Amino acid sequence: MRPTVHDIAAAAGVSLATVDRVLNQRPGVRLVTREKVEEAIRQIGYIRDVAAANLAKGRVYPLVFIVPTGDNSFMHGLRSEVHHATLRAGMERTDIRIIEVPAFDVPALVAALDALQGQDIAGVALVATDAPEVRAVVDRLVSERIPVVTLVSDLTDSTRHHYAGIDNIAAGRTAARLLGRFLGGREGDLTVLAGSMLVRDHRERLQGFSAVMAAEFPKLRLLPVLEGRDDPERTKSLVSKVLFENKDIIGIYSLGAGNRGLIAALRAVRPARELTVVAHELTQHTRAALIDGTIDAVLNQDAGHEVRSAIRVMKATADGQAVIADQERIRLDIFLKDNLP
């Protein structure tokens, strides 16, 4: 059987109470004694039974998720996944609070984070807007030993403990290669559709996409980026307009949300125009478009995985426990019509 606190006490020749003081870094232990105990812990390879400890402490993990409002499908799915996690709260000893903040609204996000100051919180997960003010609050929370995890969108140069999201540069590069290869050496124009260049994930996707296109697909020319602000109506008119004005367009990369508008615009010109399309985020709309051939590939990040991963990481960080790094790597999913879940 694995060693317990009693074994430590016996091995170190001290009492249970002293072992407890060392383990829970309570005061009242001389340095030499503390080292003796720590040596014994190492010697016999003690590992704390977290379950028993949590039982004794009556531990719950008060977690906060800060997610943007807005009606785009991805964020809707994300909120729904967090909600699902709250249903498992009983089993997982979590107590999850969801705070909604207007998308891209830096002051609001900062205010929400600020309000957490001094509260008894075992972790914060936030969809970060990449601004210095946000970084400042996050760094302060970290310095107060509150586990912070960025979700979906990361925060440049911050000290957040973990990022639960995909590598967006790699996503952009992958989109470029898929589009490039699917177009099989043809020559023509490509249009890129983004939500907003203000968010880091969109910038990074574009960056990766442009890099691969420039280096490996010289026959494909990138048109100026269209910013649809994740708004279906606006997106639809932007796409319709550019398709009408430029007959050399043979491919589209949609790296943001608001694909409803894109799909509507595409359906309006099909099948006369033959276009190869790669989009982000698997939703009911992109799924349908994939099946009927309007879209050729969808890159996706699994919101459920991201939320569950964020929870595991926050709990582990709060306990000073190690995580299985491999398990927490969020993968870029590539969906063709054949491997839809």
181 binds, among its own copies, DNA, none (CB under 5 to 8 A by kind): its own copies
Least separation in angstroms between residue 183's CB and its own copies is 7
DSSP 143-194: HTT--EEEESS--TT---SEEES--HHHHHHHHHHHHHHHTTT--EEEEEEE
23 binds, among its own copies, DNA, none (CB under 5 to 8 A by kind): DNA
Let me know: does 335 contact 295? Beta carbons within 8 Å: no
Residue number, 153 or 309, with CB nearest to its own copies: 309
- Name the residues that contact DNA, by CB under 7 A: 1, 4-6, 13-18, 20-21, 23-24, 27-30, 32-34, 46-49, 52-53, 55-58
336 binds, among its own copies, DNA, none (CB under 5 to 8 A by kind): its own copies
Compute the Cα dihedral for 290, 296, 301, 305 and give only its sign: positive
Residue number, 27 or 218, with CB nearest to DNA: 27
174 binds, among its own copies, DNA, none (CB under 5 to 8 A by kind): its own copies
- Name the residues that contact its own copies, by CB under 8 A: 1-2, 47, 49-52, 54-55, 58, 88, 90-91, 167, 170-171, 173-174, 176-178, 181-186, 208, 212, 296, 304-305, 308, 324, 326-327, 329, 331-334, 336-339, 341
308 binds, among DNA, its own copies, none (CB under 5 to 8 A by kind): its own copies
Residue number, 48 or 177, with CB nearest to DNA: 48
Residue number, 58 or 341, with CB nearest to DNA: 58
DSSP 192-253: EEES-TTSHHHHHHHHHHHHHHHHH-TTEEEPPPEE-TT-HHHHHHHHHHHHHH-TTEEEEE
**Terminal CA-CA length for the chain:** 42
Residue number, 129 or 300, with CB nearest to its own copies: 300
Least separation in angstroms between residue 145's CB and DNA is 16
18 binds, among its own copies, DNA, none (CB under 5 to 8 A by kind): DNA
Residue number, 18 or 294, with CB nearest to its own copies: 294
Which pairs from 330-333 meet CB under 8 Å and 24+ separation?
330/164, 330/165, 330/166, 330/301, 330/302, 330/305, 330/306, 331/166, 331/302, 332/166, 332/167, 332/170, 332/171, 332/174, 332/299, 332/300, 332/301, 333/282, 333/299, 333/300, 333/301, 333/302
